[in-house]
Amino acid sequence: MTLSRTERLLRVFTDVQPREGRTSLVLFANVFLILCAYYLIKPLREGWISVSDIGNLSKMEVKAYSAFGQSLFLIGVVSVYGRMASRLARARLITFATLFLMSNLVVFWLLQPDFFVRNLPGAGIAFYLWVGIFGVFVVAQFWAFVADVYNEEQGDRLLPMIAIGATAGAAFGSWLTEVVVGQEDAVKKSLLLVALLPLAASIALTHWADRRGPVGDGSGVRATRPPRPPDDQGGSLSMVLRSRYLLPVAGVTLLLSWVNTNGENLLFRVVQESLAESAAKQGVVDEAALLEFTRDGTTAFYGNFFFWVNVFALLLQALVASRLLKYGGFAAILLAMPVIALASYTTMALLPVLAVVKVMKIAENSTDYSINNTARHVLWLPVTAEMKYKGKPTIDTLFVRMGDGLAALTVLIGVQVLALSTGAYFAFTVALALAWIVLALVVVRENRRLTEENSRAD
């Protein structure tokens, strides 16, 4: 069977086989829309939390402690989602979860500052908590779906190409947010509603891909409803803790989150200090004007920051990720991120200034969103559908937010007890990156074991 013109074009990025092109493009478009919607929302989260003061806490503390609140809230959310995943077919599960989160977007659109209310106390923190849940759940369930549509061999070839859609969508959403923030107030406040459109389209594409299968005949669909084995007690968390493979995966995910969030918290503090200095120089002293200056300045900064992160992530995803996986294997793409983090945080510990921190965070985050993003999805290929639909959302939510919680604890001890300098924070994060590398080696070993077991079973 010969390749279509589209499939020949896709071969620039990865090894596409006959009849695989259409479904892979639909999934590419699907994740593009999901990440575009997320990055229309994410910079607004940073702007809203920047004007959500609590007592005498610094802005970095408010952000860090809010992230810790996410980890507590997610314990209940993960439990509910795990029960849903055991009962609903995968397309219905994704539809229900996405529609629920879309309804939440409308609520927060009504509550945003200077719309119907001036600045509702606690609304910014609630929005911060919700965006974290939104970003992890919507993205995690998409990749669980993709890993279930494709078998292991197909996934190794096609996931890196599909992931280009994620980084492209993130870059486009970040760029659009930065542009809109400079427009009139009514336009700025419409971003949350605009995000509903790509999310609605993503639901339709999910159902299309679910019916079609990887090659257009419905084949390869291994489990539209994840089976529950007899010895399963229905607990997503207990499944993770009992598994030789999922437990170290959860540990790697926790350390990734802890390391990355430490850097994000410090970047946020430096940004707020810079905006405060700019406001003082420009004579912005009125309370309402200062809130608007801070909120818009923070949103614009992060729109620009996320744009460059995603541009470099797109280049890495398109030109490096699939080749690194093909020639270096799973170990190469999984270890790339902690090695980059180790180098970046060592540099930031030695030179903890804004320009260096921004550049190093762009390097770290772009690697995370491209090469490491591919690694996180490829590592789910050897496991069962039950483990995908229950284990992946649990790890990608609970353990990610546990890492955020530990980062918040780092801030609490560092600010309130030890009064650590910025350089000392970064030095501590270097030690975490070293532990991350060690645990990643365990995941590589267990992944190899599972892959060999599956090969013998076939």
Greatest mean pLDDT among 140-149, 154-163, 421-430, 436-445 lies in: 436-445
Q: Is pLDDT of 207 > 60?
A: yes
157, pLDDT greater than 80? no
Provide the residue range defining the domain that includes 198. 18-226+234-457
- pLDDT value at residue 181: 65
> Residues 6 or more apart from 244 whose CB is under 8 A from it?
446
The answer as to whether 1 is a domain residue is no
In a domain, 7, yes or no: no
Cβ contacts of residue 191 below 8 Å, gap of 6+?
Answer: 40, 41, 44, 177, 180
Q: According to the model, what pLDDT value does residue 289 have?
A: 77
Q: What are the C-alpha distances in Å from 398 to residues 69, 76, 132, 392, 403?
A: 11, 10, 11, 10, 9
In a domain, 424, yes or no: yes
Distance between alpha carbon 276 and the CA centroid of its chain, in Å? 29
What mean pLDDT do residues 380-399 have?
75
266 within 8 A of 357, measured Cβ to Cβ: yes
392-416: average pLDDT: 81
Within a domain: 42: yes
Q: Would residue 453 count as lying in a domain?
A: yes
User: What values do phi and psi take at 114, rounded to 5?
Assistant: 60, 30
**Residue listed under structure tokens 């679910």:** 210
Query: Mean pLDDT over residues 407-427, rounded?
Result: 82
Q: Is 127 within the bounds of a domain?
A: yes
CATH number assigned to the domain comprising residue 372 = 1.20.1250.20
- Rounded to two decimals, the pTM is 0.65
In a domain, 9, yes or no: no
List pLDDT tens digits, range 418-445: 878 777 888 899 999 999 999 999 999 9
Residue pointed to by tokens 């952000």? 63
Q: Provide the sign of the torsion angle of the four alpha carbons 105, 107, 111, 116, taken in this order.
A: positive
Per-residue pLDDT, averaged over 390-410, amounts to: 79
pLDDT of 138: 80
Q: How many domains does the chain have?
A: 1
pLDDT (mean) for 179-191 = 66
For residue 250, tell me if it sits in a domain: yes
Question: Looking at the predicted structure, is the pLDDT value of residue 458 above 80?
Answer: no
Average pLDDT over residues 94-106: 85
Look at residue 354 in the predicted model and tell me its pLDDT: 75
What integer is the mean pLDDT of 185-207?
81
Supply the mean pLDDT for the chain.
78
pLDDT (tens digit per residue) in 222-281: 444 444 433 344 467 777 888 888 899 999 999 998 998 888 888 888 788 888 888 888
Residue 391 pLDDT class (50, 70, 90 cuts)? confident
Q: What's residue 161's pLDDT?
A: 79
Summarised one tens digit per residue, pLDDT across range 278-331 is 888 888 777 777 877 787 788 778 878 888 888 888 788 778 877 888 788 888
Alpha-carbon torsion, ordered 372, 375, 377, 380, to 10 deg: -140
